[in-house]
Amino acid sequence: MIIKENGKISDGFYVIGPAAIPVYLLDGPAPILFDGGFTALAHLYETQIKEVLGDRKPAYLFITHSHFDHIGAVSHFKQVWPELKIGGSVRCQEILAKQSAVQLMKDLNFEGTKNLKEMGVHPLNEKSFEPFDMDILIQPEKMIEPSPHLSLMGLSTPGHTWDFISYWIPERKILIASEAVACYQNDGYLQTEFLVDFDANLESLKKIKDLEPIVLCGGHHAVFTDEDAMQHISASVEAANHYLTMTEEFLGEEKGDINRSVSRVKAVEWDNRPWPKQPESAYLLNTRQRVKTIWARMNKHRNYKKC
Ligand SMILES: [Zn+2]
């Protein structure tokens, strides 16, 4: 099944907030949140989390990666639930300590909030993005024991970013993969999500496939269950390879001109996609990064051939 709405996915497991910018909640003796969504939607997440938990509080929040639309409401959650323990990778913590990275997140958050306001989304938290401290540094491929009743493992799955951690709950075969897999868009388009390294992304997808998840949580818009989980992993590999071929062709024709190649990719993927979609500046930032990554990869391969 492909679940495109918020609410209950399976026993004690929920999509909180809009499915386009979700926070995942695993209820239990120590309720766990995965990712921190958008700053602007902080009140919406808070209300929906309280609807599930009642008087109980989330105990942990584990972060997949340090992008503004995945950690936006974390500092709000920490204000509401001061005992909430935040976990993420060492690299994620290092990024949050950089003033330039925090400023970029504030800027992207500002634009995202403006878009939501124009769309009439309510209620909106119009505060700026604020960084936060990490309580738990995740050791990749090691068990995290948030409670005696639950095993959870953080897996290093780079490619979208270098700080990326996917979270695996083996007993239930649930994988919070977020943007380690391609993003299913509301028009059905599959947005490949490697940004920093194409080949690392494919390696991560292989690692994800070997787990054989039966609940696969994407970064935006959809959760895939049963046979659709494995299908989406294969489709993510195909989408990445298709994107590589297309972009290599554009870069070849444009003789390595990044700007012109980015415009051509954008015309294929973004221009005609209906709203709500990723804001233009965030899309352009990511696409520029993907195109530059492919251009560097093409040159590396060319140099190898010369040797
Ligand atoms: Zn991201």
State the pTM of this model.
Answer: 0.93
Cα 218 from Cα 177, distance rounded (Å) = 6
Indicate the pLDDT class of residue 149, thresholds 50, 70 and 90.
Answer: confident
Cα 83 from Cα 71, distance rounded (Å) = 17
Centre of ligand 1 to C-alpha 8, Å, is: 24
- Give the pLDDT confidence score for residue 305 in this predicted structure: 61
Over range 172-185, report the average pLDDT: 95
Burial 160-196 (b: 16+ CB within 10 A, else e): bbbbbbbbbbeebebbbbbbbbbbbbbeebbbbbbbb
Centre of ligand 1 to C-alpha 13, Å, is: 22
Largest CA distance in the chain: 65
> If you average pLDDT over each of 109-123, 132-146, 251-265, 277-291, which comes out highest?
251-265
Residue 194 φ/ψ, nearest 5 degrees: -65, 140
Residue in the block written with tokens 């090691």: 142
Please report, rounded to a whole number, the percentage of residues in the chain having pLDDT higher than 90: 83
Half-sphere exposure of 140 (CA within 13 A, CB side): 16
The model's pLDDT over 8-64, given as tens digits with 9 standing for 90+, comes to 999 999 999 999 899 999 999 999 999 999 999 999 999 999 999 999 999 999 999
Over range 274-290, report the average pLDDT: 88
**Cβ contact 166:155 at 8 Å:** yes
Which residue, 208, 222, 294, is CA-closest to 256?
294
Centre of ligand 1 to C-alpha 231, Å, is: 22
Centre of ligand 1 to C-alpha 183, Å, is: 10
**Residue 303 pLDDT > 80:** no
Centre of ligand 1 to C-alpha 306, Å, is: 35
Cβ atoms within 10 Å, residue 1:
13
Centre of ligand 1 to C-alpha 54, Å, is: 30
Centre of ligand 1 to C-alpha 70, Å, is: 7
Domains of the chain are: 2-241 (3.60.15.10)
What tokens does 250 get?
A: 């554009």
* Residue 123 one-letter amino acid: P
Centre of ligand 1 to C-alpha 67, Å, is: 5
Cβ atoms within 10 Å, residue 211:
18
- How far from chain centre, in Å, is Cα 52? 23
**Helices (runs of H) and strands (runs of E) counted in the chain:** 9, 16
Residue 47 φ/ψ, nearest 5 degrees: -60, -45
